[in-house]
Homo-oligomer: A and B are copies of this chain.
Amino acid sequence: MDRFELMRLLEALLFGATEPFSERELTQRMPDDTDIVGLLAELREQYANRGVHLVQFGTRWAFRTAPDLGPHLRLKRVVRRKLSRAALEVLAIIAYHQPVTRAEIEEIRAVATSRGTLDILLEASWIRPRGRRRLPGRPVTWGVTEAFLDHFGLESVGSLPGIEELKAAGLLEHRPGLGILSALRDRAEDGEQGESGELYDAVESDTAIALEE
């Protein structure tokens, strides 16, 4: 099989399937000694201007419709439940600070993570446990999945929007937080368990204070 035929075969494999392929899976399905990496790069180049793109996320490859066509594409859209503001923040923290423990997420947000937040992200297949931190209790660390990268059209975690600037500004470093904040967090957690927070919310909801500068 010459290079052109190998390219056709690779194209058929990737184009025909709904599932993304890892390079390892492609190697198993293509003739031995195929230059998978070179062919993938060439194929991506060939589709760069077309209505369908060859995209990479993590270790996987798949054809996807070009993002700029989105507004014009009258295709069946998947209905998604809207993520809460808190869940979005937790997702962003996991993506940008990974691997990150629950305690570290709470330190950054300075509030307790309510039960069900990680649950929702896990259910969406966007986060996964990455390992354990060498700390007392060996807490699990969290990171994002390849499904997350695919969903947001990202090649890798390194291509998250603005991650380089944040790194340069030192905002992704782990620094000792304020003691005061962990005290606030613990308190918030107590409140959550006692369900008193809900009570206060109801009392306050009608009374707002105008803030002047």
Contacts and interface: CB of A to CB of B under 8 A. Distances in A.
Interface in A109-124: 113, 115-119, 122
Contact of A169 (B10, B118, B169): B118
A58 B102 CA distance: 37
Interface in A5-44: 7-13, 15-19, 21, 25, 28-29, 31
Nearest to A155: B131
Interface string A146-183: 10000011111011111001001111000000000000
Interface of A: 1, 7-13, 15-19, 21, 25, 28-29, 31, 49-52, 63-66, 69, 72-78, 102, 113, 115-119, 122, 128-132, 139-141, 145-146, 152-156, 158-162, 165, 168-171
